[in-house]
Chain A
Amino acid sequence: MILSLNEIESMGWKAARGAGLAWGLAEEMAQAARWLADHGFDWAEPLVAALADAEQREGRLPPPFLSDDGAWDAALGEAEVSPILCGPLMTDIASDLGSSRPLVFRSVAYPVLMLPFAAGAAAAFGFGLALKIDQEDFWFDGAGAAGTSRLAGVLRAGKIVLSMPDQPAAREVPTFAAGAPRRAIAPDLLARLEAWVHRTYVPASAQSRLAGAGAGLTDND
């Protein structure tokens, strides 16, 4: 199946909700999936992995906490923090960035899901932002994105740093442009997403069949 961006967004929104996330986070995961697909990234595999974790926790993911050294860490007793919380947090607080005050996140799962949030922050502010995920460099300038990796299959990042560099140093690296060709989604991933989506639907009842859409008058005249 080859999905349009709108279908990816719509599926992401409902699947995230079906996996137990709050509506607002579901909106953010939907936009993240759409951004990844639009820029040629594999979006379905990390999304399914992150949503599966969320489902295991019944949607109540343990939030990161701010360490004494100013970095965001996984909650006590947790090996990692979900990008479902970390990504939105990064854009929420991106206006606190200073040229000598980066945002630092440690032990983030499925780090490719952080890219759309860095892109969203750069677009909102209209200036360049650099994102370093362990050894990989990414650059966002509001209109486009560049990077040294597609982070395919990377399950956890030790350290992620969002910063406002003086110089757009990473400009020579490959550019991820919007408008990437549509690609087929693997059937098993599609089935996982659709199973979550299905949970958001309300089964029909006799009453809803009659009243839900307000039918009743003849519509064939």
Chain B
Amino acid sequence: MSDAIALEGLERNYGDRAALSGVTVSVPAGATLAVFGSNGAGKTTLLRVLAGLLRPHAGSASVLGSKLPDEAWKVRGKVGYLGHESLLYRDLSVRQNLEFHARLHGVTGVDEALAAVGLERRAGDAIRELSKGMVQRAAVARAILHDPPVLLLDEPRANLDPAAAEALEPLIGRVSGRTRVLVSHDVERSLAEADLALGLRAGRQEFAQRADETQVRRLYS
């Protein structure tokens, strides 16, 4: 299997502070990398670098064979990013938001995406009128609308009730068949669905391998 994501000595700083330092990991196509670390460990920064939203300051990073940041334009449109924020316009309806993103990506399938996340009946409601769980469902629809081969997921089940989380599994879960980088504090569940685990502590890589739960728990101590 070829590597969908390859990082070698990746570094990223915010001013003088190193947010990521020496991160080296490869993720085969179709595999899931679970990223662990306490708050401020650099997990979200890693996802943003992989999405092409932040430039790496040293080391190398490639996604689907395209080097970042020089070929970030090739990566855009091939990743689905689900972050802490919905990346949706609060004053537009769910449908208007998805139609907007569909136009940007040059795709169709808004109705299908709405049906997949169970928001057909709330499609006309503005994002600001929805509960957090429904906003998360709309954000999932946005992230998978263009059928990206790579998913970057930051606490993807946040605010979702168990039934909704289960319903979204075919879209963003392991069964989706996509290459996934998954950030979650649900250690047990993340390990169960991950092929690889990356442990970060203050931006430094503690491990990148098939991790056991004890090793991951040690990160949070």
**Is chain B a partner of chain A in the same complex?**
no
